[in-house]
Amino acid sequence: MRRAGGFTLIELMIVVAIMGALAALAVYSYDGYIKRGQRASAQQVMSNIASRQQQYLLDARQFTATIGAGGLGFSADGYTCAATCTSNRYTIAVTVDNTATPPTFAITGTPAGSQVGDGTLNLNSLGQKTRMVSGVDKGW
């Protein structure tokens, strides 16, 4: 008598378990990739705002805390800009000190939504860049 060929239930369950573990790793890796991409987008917006602040300083001899209309006139895809720039991932705000010599500014990108936990982005008028996660600089 010949035995019928095929897979046993145990063999199929092992294959399903291995595929589930691989899928879990893929989702975790993909989530990290998305967070890094959103962070890079916010960093680009912050760098553009810093560049516009330097241009504004040349024209007005001071910095402005207003990012959108009435200030820098800045706008970016995916962001709504007025006094701050907001998206579903980051809120970007500018603080200025025009009484200092020379005047200074600081740009802060506060994470929101699924980006929370990725760290607060900081960029100042000296070009110093940080990403603070629980009080520790994790690098821009």
pLDDT, tens digit, for every residue of 50-71?
999 999 999 999 999 999 988 8
Domain range for 70 is 9-137
pLDDT, tens digit, for every residue of 2-60?
777 788 999 999 999 999 999 999 998 898 899 999 999 999 999 999 999 999 999 99
Asked whether residue 74 is domain-assigned, the answer is: yes
Asked whether residue 64 is domain-assigned, the answer is: yes
pLDDT of residue 1: 66
What is the total count of domains within the chain? 1
Asked whether residue 18 is domain-assigned, the answer is: yes
Q: What is the DSSP string of the chain?
A: -PPPP---HHHHHHHHHHHHHHHHHHHHHHHHHHHHHHHHHHHHHHHHHHHHHHHHHHHHSS--S--STTTT----TT-EESSSEE-SSEEEEEEEETTSSS-EEEEEEEE-GGGTTS-EEEEETT--EEEEETTEE---
Asked whether residue 3 is domain-assigned, the answer is: no
Asked whether residue 36 is domain-assigned, the answer is: yes
